[in-house]
Amino acid sequence: MVGATLKERLEQQIKGRIVYGEPLGKYTSFGIGGPADIMVFPEGEADVRAALRLCREEGVPYLVLGGGSNLLVRDGGFRGVVLHLEGIFTQLNVAGRRVSAGAGVRLSRLVAFCSKLALSGVECLAGVPGSVGGAVRGNSGAFGGCIADHLVAVRLLTREGDEHVFSRDRLQFSYRRSSLPEGCVLLEAAFDLEQGDAGEIRRRISANLIQRNRGQPVEWRSAGSVFKNPPGEYAGRLVEKAGLKGVRVGGACISPKHGNFIINLGGATATDVLALIDLMQRQVREKMQVELELEVRVVGDD
């Protein structure tokens, strides 16, 4: 539990809003999650630096929350400080073919922004949930592309509060992974895009959205793909082969539409979801001898 000293120091040094006991389900695409001890809505980068420093000095864990996708918060919530990046962290700027996006910019907004400027390179992100910060950290993508394809630089704060700018050649990306420093707070990402035909860009975006809507349960709340695809296979197909599509625990259900999605039918708890995750991993391991690795990040306390 966070002590009174940290609360007092945060209130003295943070200009942004501070909320106590805020249910995190309000901020996740799953709609699931217990309360955060402290939730900070930084007014600017100085607030982020101050929060990181105070957490470090008080020995309190912190969690950075943007779009809230690809995240499952346990029912007990988060015993620490949650930094929710909005406001100034949702700015978009363009200079020629280079687009800079704050960490809190929703991917849907980035795609629409670039489309209006006839800048091509992020169409693969159409329909992908979440925000730029989380997408860069996890190298999100679809339709044969990923966010790292046109990334040229990121600006971030280390857990010590030091600011760094990393060019693309200093970072390593692979399938749903990046080499961003552990515990860092990504502030901004820059992309070098290609001037294209506005009509063709819109057509690619539309085609991607149609394909996504046809194959994924977009009408339900979820965290996106539960597992990473094993080499040469699709996690959803393995779950389907195991006969698990449509299986339900409490308010959570393995989507009948796509085996790699767990959907919230209403009132689902993290305990429900974790029970399904365990079932999926066990059944696929026993029947197909494949170990499914989580793509969804699980945080918090039971």
By annotation, the residues acting in catalysis are: 176, 225, 295
Instruction: Write phi, then psi, for 139 (nearest 5 degrees).
Output: 45, 60
For the chain, the farthest-separated pair of C-alpha atoms sits apart, in whole angstroms, at 57
Residue 204 Cα distances to 17, 48, 85, 119, angstroms: 40, 37, 30, 12
Q: Report the b/e string of 120-154 with b at 16+ CB within 10 A.
A: bbbbbbbbbbbbbbbbbbbbbbbbebbbbbbbebb
| Helix, coil or strand: residue 79 | strand
The rounded distance, in Å, linking the Cα atoms of 215 and 230 is: 19
